[in-house]
Amino acid sequence: MTIKLYCFGESGNAYKAALTLELSGLDWEPVFVDFFHGESRSPEFRELNPMGEVPVMIDGDVTLSQSGVIQDYVSSKSGKLGGRSANERREILRWQFWDNHKMSSVAGPTRFLMNFIPEDKRPVEVIAFNQGRLNAAYKVLEGELSKRDWLVGDTITLADISCCGYLFYPEPFGFDRTEWPAIDAWLTRISDTPGWKHPYDLMPGSPADRA
Amino acid sequence: MTIKLYCFGESGNAYKAALTLELSGLDWEPVFVDFFHGESRSPEFRELNPMGEVPVMIDGDVTLSQSGVIQDYVSSKSGKLGGRSANERREILRWQFWDNHKMSSVAGPTRFLMNFIPEDKRPVEVIAFNQGRLNAAYKVLEGELSKRDWLVGDTITLADISCCGYLFYPEPFGFDRTEWPAIDAWLTRISDTPGWKHPYDLMPGSPADRA
């Protein structure tokens, strides 16, 4: 049975799940959620996910939200991208939590505020505060990636896919990869991985569709 | 061997790990980290955890940070608090990610800004924005807890311990449990659980020590 992923192109969180599915080799297809017209907050969508957010994955009788859990499920099912030992698996989960806690949870709203609401409504103090938090996160990531090619072990894992979730997007949110050489080289390693796709090529919906 | 948890009383993220350890029945002891004098961001502490944050758990040759992973480790080791089926385990992980992504990652900084920096330095726009996000999170939690006693299954799990991380603290950050009856009743169920302790009784360090 084909796994369905409810998603839209602009969502870095959905991208983490979509890229994990794509690189796992499992059979999957995206289902477009019209976030910019409120679909993910509609009563119908909340039947699927009371948290009112994408991504949502459906595989037979398993329905899951939260990209980290979907990643974990896809890795368990495919036997790929999940590390090679108990220690690696814990380290992967650690980076997934760190990303969700310290990076994506700040990058997502900041990118939204800087790109997807009217310019005169942008809360400049919030954006500046968030960018300060993001810089602290980039610094941690840069430091770790200066020591090794991949976050955990010697190949791409869920940890890398989680942490890169927002970093390939072209819209500005206070991240310029040329300022972070180790992150920059790592992003190139990720995009050189066979099967890799850019978020706007992997999922339906992009700013171009709404222009 | 006694598990060591590097922590301090004010950290809701450390509380999630500490309460999990306490309720698991494993042998553990807290190690005080002097966050308010910069210890968690010192070079020495970054040797222990390059992410520069508490909690950090050390159990023999296993060193872990990120409360969600520590919870997972403690649950695996003790066989407690982790759900009774693969489906429950995935649901627990989903709530842990949701908490880290949508609730604790906002509650922690907001509580910090409202209580632990000088009053004339508080960024009011950031606080108001964050409180809006937190209210959306409380609404999701209230909705789910209106349907059942515990977030996953029929007893307390890591999911409940994660999501309650900041909600027992007395310092204001835009949460008043009397406004959320289902959350309020659930917090009472948690604090009625045998072995439960308030964060300031479970970990060293509290605002009273610095008064």
Interchain pair A98, B123: CB under 8 A: no
Which are the contacts of A211, defined by CB distance < 8 A and separation ≥ 6? none
Q: Which of A94, A100, A109 sits opposite B97 (nearest CB)?
A: A100
Interchain pair B94, A69: CB under 8 A: yes
The structure tokens 């996953």 sit at B152
| Distance to chain B for A137, nearest Cα, Å | 8
Equal CATH topology for B3-81+197-210 and B86-191: no
Measured in degrees and rounded to the nearest 5, phi and psi for residue B5 equal -120, 115
- Any idea where the domains of chain A sit in the sequence? 3-81+197-210, 86-191
Residues of chain B found within 8 Å of residue A66, distances taken between Cβ atoms: 93-94, 97-98, 101
Q: Is the C-alpha dihedral spanning A125, A127, A128, A130 positive or negative?
A: positive
Q: What is the pLDDT of residue A121?
A: 93
Interchain pair A69, B50: CB under 8 A: no
List, in sequence order, every residue forming a beta bridge with B63; answer none if it has no partner: B58
Q: What is the pLDDT of residue B210?
A: 80
The 3-state DSSP class for residue B156 equals coil
Cα-Cα-Cα-Cα dihedral of B161, A104, B10, B181, to 10°? Answer: -50
Write out the CATH class of domain A3-81+197-210: alpha beta
Q: Quick one: which of B167, B164, B166 has its CA closest to B177?
A: B167
Percent over 70 (pLDDT), chain A: 100
Q: What is the pLDDT of residue B110?
A: 97
The CA-based diameter of chain B, rounded to the nearest angstrom, is 51
User: Helices H, strands E: what count in chain A?
Assistant: 10, 4
* Radius of gyration, alpha carbons of chain A: 17
- Is pLDDT at A8 greater than 90 in this prediction? yes
DSSP labels, B15-63: HHHHHHHHHHT--EEEEE--GGGTGGGSHHHHHH-TT--S-EEEETTEE
| Distance to chain A for B50, nearest Cα, Å | 7
The structure tokens 């005080």 sit at B32
Q: Which of B72, B94, B105 sits opposite A93 (nearest CB)?
A: B72
Interchain pair A90, B64: CB under 8 A: yes
For chain B, which ranges sit under pLDDT 70? none
When pLDDT is cut at 50, 70 and 90, the band that residue A148 belongs to is very high
Interface of A with B (CB under 8 A): 50-52, 62, 64-69, 72-73, 87, 90, 93-94, 96-98, 100-102, 104-106, 109, 123, 125-126, 129, 133, 140, 143-144
Rounded Cα distance, A99 and A135, in Å: 13
What is the mean pLDDT of the segment spanning A103-121? 95
Please give the distance of CA A54 from its chain centroid, rounded to a whole number.
Answer: 11
Residues of chain B found within 8 Å of residue A98, distances taken between Cβ atoms: 51, 65-66
ipTM of the complex: 0.96
Asked if residues A134 and A103 have their Cβ atoms less than 8 Å apart, the reply is yes
Rounded Cα distance, B146 and B49, in Å: 39
Q: What is the pLDDT of residue B6?
A: 98
Interchain pair A90, B62: CB under 8 A: yes
What is the mean pLDDT of the segment spanning A14-43? 96
Q: What is the pLDDT of residue B211?
A: 76
Sheet with B3-7, strands from edge to edge, namely B28-32, B3-7, B56-59, B62-65
Q: What is the pLDDT of residue A210?
A: 80
Measured in degrees and rounded to the nearest 5, phi and psi for residue B51 equal -75, -10
Q: What is the pLDDT of residue B12?
A: 98
Residues of chain A found within 8 Å of residue B112, distances taken between Cβ atoms: none
Question: Helices A104-115 and B104-115: crossing angle, nearest 10°?
Answer: 80
Interchain pair A133, B109: CB under 8 A: yes
Q: What is the pLDDT of residue A57?
A: 98
When pLDDT is cut at 50, 70 and 90, the band that residue A1 belongs to is confident
Measured in degrees and rounded to the nearest 5, phi and psi for residue A17 equal -70, -45
List, in sequence order, every residue forming a beta bridge with A4; answer none if it has no partner: A29, A58
- Is pLDDT at A137 greater than 90 in this prediction? yes
- Is pLDDT at A85 greater than 80 in this prediction? yes
Rounded Cα distance, B11 and A194, in Å: 42
| Distance to chain B for A54, nearest Cα, Å | 12
Average pLDDT over all residues of chain A: 96
CATH of range B86-191; options 1.10.10.10, 3.30.9.100, 1.20.1050.10, 3.40.50.1980: 1.20.1050.10
